[in-house]
C-alpha cells in the first residue's frame, strides 16, 4: 500500500523559511502541492522554489507582535485560509555563559527561539481554528540535553517543547500541535559550525546513521505531521536525529572486549552497568 501526502489546496506558513532548514521545509510542502508562505526579516538570496512552484515571501520582524498578526491576517484574507504554521525561525551563535555584558544577547536568543513562536502561534490561532489546522514547532536536540555554549538556545528549545505540549491540550480538538526535534542538519552554513567537508564528515560520523540530516528530511517529517495521515497525532515530539548522539562512554571503552576472566559467552560477568 502506498501513502501519498497530498496537500493540494492547503496554505502553509513557514517562519524563517528562506534558507537552511526553513527552506528545506518550505520546499517539502511545495512538493506536496501546498501554497507556501515564507517570512523572515530579509528576502532570500533567490526565490524558494520546488516542483515548478514558488514560495511567497513577506518581510516580517517576528519580534514585532503587531507585524506578526498583520502578516497572518493578510495571508488568510489573500488566500482564504491558513492550514499550517511551521515555527522554524530561530538559531544562536556560540556564546558561553558567564559574562554579565552578554545578558541582553542571551535574552535575544530566548526571544527569537521561544517568545516568537508563541507570538506567531497566537496570531495564527483564529485562522487555524477555522481550518482545523496544525502548528509544528521546530525544536532541537539541544533542548533535550545539556547545551554548553548555547545554553539560552537549549533552554528556549526545551521550553518550546513544553509550550507545544500545553497548546496541544488547550487547543484540541480544533488545532493539532506537534514538535519536530532535529539533530544536526547539513545546510549552506554548516561550514561555520563544523569546518570544511572533512569536518562535516567527521561530525556526521558521530551520528549512528553516519551523516548529518538534509533539510528536506526535516521537511518531510513536517509534511507528514501536517497531513491527514497524522490526524490523530498531537502533543507529540518526533525526533529526526539519525539515532541521536553516541554515548560518550562508548568512545572511552572497548565494548567488544570480553570482561577479564570471561569468554564473552552469554551469562559472563559484566564489568560495567549503565543506569
Using 50 as the pLDDT threshold, list the residues of the chain that sit under it.
Answer: 1, 261-275
pLDDT value at position 269?
35
> Is the Cα dihedral 88, 52, 184, 244 positive or negative?
positive
Give the C-alpha separation, 2 to 161, whole Å.
Answer: 31
Catalogue the active-site residues.
Answer: 153
pLDDT value at position 270?
37
For the entire predicted model, the pTM comes to 0.88
pLDDT value at position 203?
83
Q: Are 17 and 39 in contact (CB under 8 A)?
A: yes
Query: Class of 11-97+104-241 per CATH?
Result: alpha beta
Give the C-alpha separation, 113 to 251, whole Å.
Answer: 32
Strand partners, 14: 38, 86
Element (H, E) at 157: helix 151-171
Burial of 98 (0-12, 13-18, 19+ CB in 10 A): exposed
Grid coordinates representing 41 are: 526579516
pLDDT value at position 186?
78
Determine the 3-state secondary structure of 240 from DSSP: strand
Give the C-alpha separation, 166 to 182, whole Å.
Answer: 20
Q: What is the per-residue pLDDT across 31-60, written as a single tens digit (0 to 9) for each?
A: 999 999 999 999 999 999 999 999 999 999
Q: What is the β-pairing status of strands 237-240 and 53-54?
A: unpaired
pLDDT value at position 246?
81
Amino acid at each position: 500500500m502506498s501513502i501519498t501526502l497530498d496537500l493540494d489546496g492547503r496554505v502553509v506558513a513557514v517562519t524563517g523559511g528562506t534558507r537552511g532548514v526553513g527552506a528545506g521545509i518550505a520546499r517539502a510542502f511545495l512538493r506536496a502541492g501546498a501554497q507556501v508562505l515564507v517570512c523572515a526579516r530579509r528576502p532570500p538570496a533567490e526565490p524558494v522554489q520546488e516542483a515548478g512552484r514558488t514560495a511567497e515571501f513577506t518581510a516580517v520582524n517576528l519580534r514585532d507582535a503587531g507585524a506578526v498578526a498583520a502578516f497572518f491576517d493578510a495571508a488568510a484574507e489573500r488566500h482564504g485560509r491558513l492550514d499550517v504554521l511551521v515555527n522554524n525561525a530561530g538559531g544562536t551563535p556560540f556564546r558561553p555563559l558567564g559574562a554579565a555584558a552578554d545578558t541582553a544577547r542571551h535574552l535575544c536568543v530566548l526571544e527569537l527561539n521561544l517568545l516568537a513562536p508563541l507570538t506567531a502561534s497566537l496570531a495564527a490561532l483564529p485562522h487555524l481554528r477555522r481550518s482545523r489546522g496544525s502548528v509544528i514547532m521546530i525544536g532541537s536536540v539541544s533542548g533535550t540535553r545539556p547545551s554548553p555554549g548555547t545554553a539560552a538556545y537549549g533552554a528556549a528549545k526545551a521550553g518550546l517543547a513544553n509550550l507545544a505540549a500545553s497548546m496541544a491540550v488547550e487547543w484540541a480538538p480544533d488545532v493539532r500541535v506537534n514538535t519536530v526535534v532535529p539533530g544536526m542538519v547539513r545546510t549552506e552554513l554548516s561550514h561555520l559550525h563544523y569546518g570544511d567537508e572533512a569536518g562535516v564528515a567527521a561530525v556526521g560520523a558521530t551520528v549512528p546513521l553516519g551523516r548529518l540530516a538534509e533539510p528536506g528530511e526535516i521537511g518531510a517529517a513536517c509534511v507528514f505531521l501536517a497531513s491527514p495521515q497524522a490526524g490523530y497525532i498531537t502533543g507529540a515530539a518526533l525526533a529526526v536525529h539519525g539515532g541521536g548522539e553516541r554515548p560518550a562512554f562508548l568512545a572511552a571503552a572497548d565494548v567488544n572486549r570480553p570482561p577479564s576472566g570471561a569468554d564473552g559467552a552469554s551469562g559472563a560477568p559484566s564489568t560495567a552497568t549503565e543506569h
